[in-house]
C-alpha cells in the first residue's frame, strides 16, 4: 500500500485510478473518489509531505498535467454523464499547476552545471552539491532558498575570492530559484 500522505504518491494514485477505470460504470466512482481525495488534501484534512525521494521538483507538475489530459479526454467522450462532468470540474482546481515555470528544469540543471565548474575549489563544489543540488532534487522547499541565499552572501562577501563568472552564474541561479518557488514574482508584485 503506498503512503498516501506523500504528495507525489497521492497524485500517482489519482492518475492510476483515472487511467485504470475507463469503463463508464467505474469511471464516475473513480472521478468522485479522486475529487474527494484531492479536496481533503487541499484543505489539509489529509496532511501531505514530501517523501525525500530523488525526483525533480517539477515531477508534481508533470503528473498533474497527465491527470488533466486524462480528465479532458474523459470530458470529451460522447458517453460522459453530467455527474462525471461535475466531478471533473471539482478535480481541476485541486490539481497542482503545470504552467511552464513549474515544469522548467532550468534552476535544477543550472545548479548542476555550477557544481561542476572548474574555477571553484573542490570543497565548495561538494558543499553546493550536498547543501543545494541534492536537496533540491529531493524537494523544492524554502530551505533550498535559504541555503542558496546563505551561500550567495558568503561568495559575494570578498569580491575577488571567487571568479566573477562563477558569482554571476550563482546569482542567476538564485534569481531563477526564487522565481521557481514563486517568491521572486510574489516579492515583485508586492
pLDDT (tens digit, 9 = 90+) per residue, 102-122?
Answer: 666 556 677 888 888 889 999
24-42 and 7-20 helices, crossing angle to 10°:
160
- pLDDT tens for 24-63 read 568 899 999 999 998 988 888 887 766 556 556 677 788 8
> Grid coordinates 498533474 are at which residue?
64
Query: What pTM did the predictor assign?
Result: 0.58
pLDDT score, position 186: 47
- The answer to whether 67 and 14 have CB atoms below 8 angstroms apart is yes
Amino acid at each position: 500500500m503506498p503512503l498516501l500522505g506523500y504528495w507525489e504518491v497521492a497524485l500517482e494514485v489519482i492518475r492510476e485510478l483515472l487511467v485504470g477505470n475507463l469503463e463508464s460504470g467505474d469511471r464516475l466512482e473513480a472521478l468522485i473518489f479522486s475529487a474527494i481525495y484531492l479536496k481533503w488534501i487541499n484543505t489539509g484534512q489529509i496532511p501531505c509531505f514530501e517523501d525525500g525521494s530523488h525526483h525533480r521538483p517539477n515531477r508534481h507538475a508533470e503528473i498533474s498535467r497527465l491527470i488533466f489530459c486524462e480528465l479532458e479526454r474523459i470530458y470529451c467522450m460522447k458517453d460522459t454523464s453530467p455527474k462525471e462532468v461535475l466531478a471533473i470540474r471539482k478535480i481541476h482546481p485541486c490539481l497542482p499547476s503545470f504552467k511552464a515555470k513549474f515544469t522548467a528544469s532550468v534552476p535544477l540543471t543550472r545548479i548542476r552545471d555550477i557544481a561542476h565548474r572548474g574555477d571553484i575549489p573542490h570543497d565548495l563544489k561538494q558543499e553546493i552539491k550536498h547543501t543545494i543540488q541534492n536537496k533540491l532534487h529531493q524537494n523544492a522547499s524554502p530551505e533550498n532558498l535559504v541555503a542558496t541565499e546563505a551561500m550567495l552572501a558568503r561568495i559575494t562577501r570578498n569580491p575577488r575570492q571567487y571568479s566573477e563568472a562563477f558569482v554571476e552564474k550563482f546569482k542567476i541561479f538564485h534569481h531563477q530559484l526564487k522565481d521557481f518557488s514563486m517568491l521572486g514574482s510574489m516579492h515583485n508584485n508586492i
